[in-house]
């Protein structure tokens, strides 16, 4: 899940500082992974699912904010494009039937989101990249209006 930020423009020094912090975090993770006993204990499983909102011809519908606003599910997040959503499944213990638990959670979430999308003439398709996208849906105008995505775009264009 992405971090909420308040602005999309940063100074050269802020980019340098962010890079340094990233390297520090990678180094800290590397040290953690090398510690004896790391990762021992009960295992859990988690996942996220990318979804697209489409019309009856499987064309992208830019409704992610409307669907999010009507959903009561805290595991649902906006994604990069206005027709994308991300569902972060609750972690489950790997013992027993973890995939059955995940399936039940996803089925409930997809049913709720499908009902919401249907009120706008849409439906939810659990897919990472919608194969019916056209060029205009790959432009910045299709991007979800959040500072973190504007910052990402600005950083890429630097």
For residue 137, what are its two tokens?
A: 């849906």
pLDDT, tens only, 41-55: 899 999 999 999 999
Give CA–CA dist 6/23, Å, rounded: 23
**pLDDT for residue 1 is more than 60:** no
* Kind and range of the H or E run holding 53: strand 48-54
- Convert the pLDDT of each residue in 98-145 to its tens digit: 999 999 999 999 999 999 999 999 999 999 899 999 898 888 888 888
Tokens of 142: 């299709």
Give the mean pLDDT of 81-102: 96
Is-contact 114 123, C-beta < 8 A?
yes
Question: How buried is residue 20: exposed, middle or buried, by Cβ count under 10 Å (0-12/13-18/19+)?
Answer: exposed
The yes-or-no verdict on residue 27 having pLDDT over 80 is yes
Q: Domains (ranges, CATH) in the chain?
A: 44-156 (3.30.70)
């Amino acid at each position: 899940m992405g971090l909420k930020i308040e602005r999309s423009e940063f100074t050269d020094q802020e980019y340098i500082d962010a890079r340094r912090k990233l390297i520090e975090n990678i180094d800290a993770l590397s040290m953690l992974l090398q510690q004896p006993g790391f990762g021992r204990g009960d295992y859990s499983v988690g996942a996220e699912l990318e979804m697209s909102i489409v019309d009856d011809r499987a064309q992208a519908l830019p409704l992610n904010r409307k669907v999010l606003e009507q959903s009561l599910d805290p595991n649902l997040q906006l994604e990069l494009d206005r027709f994308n959503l991300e569902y972060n499944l609750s972690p489950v213990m790997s013992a027993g039937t973890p995939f059955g638990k995940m399936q039940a959670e996803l089925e409930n979430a997809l049913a709720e989101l499908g009902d919401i999308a249907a009120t706008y003439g849409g439906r939810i398709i659990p897919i990472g990249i919608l194969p019916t996208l056209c060029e205009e849906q790959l432009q910045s105008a299709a991007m979800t209006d959040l500072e973190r995505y504007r910052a990402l775009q600005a950083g890429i264009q630097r």
